[in-house]
Amino acid sequence: MGFNYDDKMILDPKNDVVFQKIFGSPENEDILISFLNALLERTEKEKIKHVEYVDTKLSDIEAVDDKIGILDVRVVTEKGIHINVEIQLINRYNMINRTLFYWSRLYSNQIKKGENYKNLNKTITINILNFDYIDSKKYHTTYHLWEDEEKTKLTDILEIHFIELPKFLDENPELNNSLNMWLAFLTKPEKGVSEMGEPAIRKAITVLDMLSRDPETVRLAELRMKQILDEKSMVEGAREEGKIEGIAEGKVEGKEEAALNFLRLGISEETVAQGTGLSIDKIREIKSML
């Protein structure tokens, strides 16, 4: 399969092949640590100093055109905190359920059958979304387990973050903190973010530039993007078909409601059938509910 290669092009760091090569490579541990510390600044008092990569899928990128799953970045910090970072480019309309499922799997897989539950450590899931999803105006939302009325935290062992990049772009905030600088890198890497005073971001820009000059990475990134666009087309097509079906169902429901009202007024079954377009049998079925 051919691909377009331009030695002046900058790859999109949101492409999950590119994202994982930047953040999921052990040689770029300092890049990931800087990003995580910026994102977890509000919830983690101590800065992360070291991470151990878990179940990296870098070797599987070669199969990118074979419908592999979403490429994520999984690490364990020196304090034993398990962190999973995913970047999602298309809305599959199942983000909440999917997030809780993968969080629970990451959490429960920390121990084997028969081991003590006290060995379970804090587990953080980070979702970077290239679409709006959460019912909030904020582009960075964080969730824990809370008591409904007193708002006391049950435990901090569950922590879920959502970063919605379109909301970040719409708000266009000042790049006055590390997280905003990192999000600027993800959304507009060509806009001079490398001039900022974050050494890890400058390194990330350098890594991205190197990846953008590597024909094989470009090929894999384009294969991945084609797969994503194909899936997006299928998801949107299925959703649109569902909307059409819903409209049709709504029309039927509206006709049945109108028929019920006409029958209550004493209008004959035949007249109601002619007026609504429903069959005489359906009208009689509706009438039996009166």
74-102 pLDDT per residue, tens: 999 999 999 999 999 888 788 898 899 98
Least confident of 14-23, 26-35, 101-110, 260-269: 260-269
* pLDDT value of position 68: 44
pLDDT in tens, 237-253: 666 665 555 555 555 66
Averaged pLDDT score across all residues of the chain: 84
Judge contact between 263 and 272, C-beta under 8 A.
yes
Pull the structure tokens for residue 185: 């890198």
Judge contact between 105 and 82, C-beta under 8 A.
no
pLDDT at 104 over 70: yes
Distance of CA 35 to the CA centre of its chain: 17
Q: How far apart are CA 51 and CA 82, in angstroms?
A: 9
pTM of the model: 0.76
* pLDDT value of position 253: 64
* pLDDT value of position 211: 95
pLDDT in tens, 134-174: 999 999 999 999 999 998 999 999 999 999 999 999 999 99
* pLDDT value of position 56: 59
Q: How far apart are CA 206 and CA 180, in angstroms?
A: 19
Return phi, psi of residue 253, to 5°: -60, -40
What is the number of residues in the chain? Answer: 290
> In percent, how much of the chain has pLDDT > 70?
80
pLDDT in tens, 258-289: 777 667 666 778 777 876 778 888 888 888 87
- 164: nearest Cα among 124, 128, 125, 126: 128
Least confident of 3-12, 54-63, 194-203: 54-63
Q: How far apart are CA 25 and CA 73, in angstroms?
A: 9
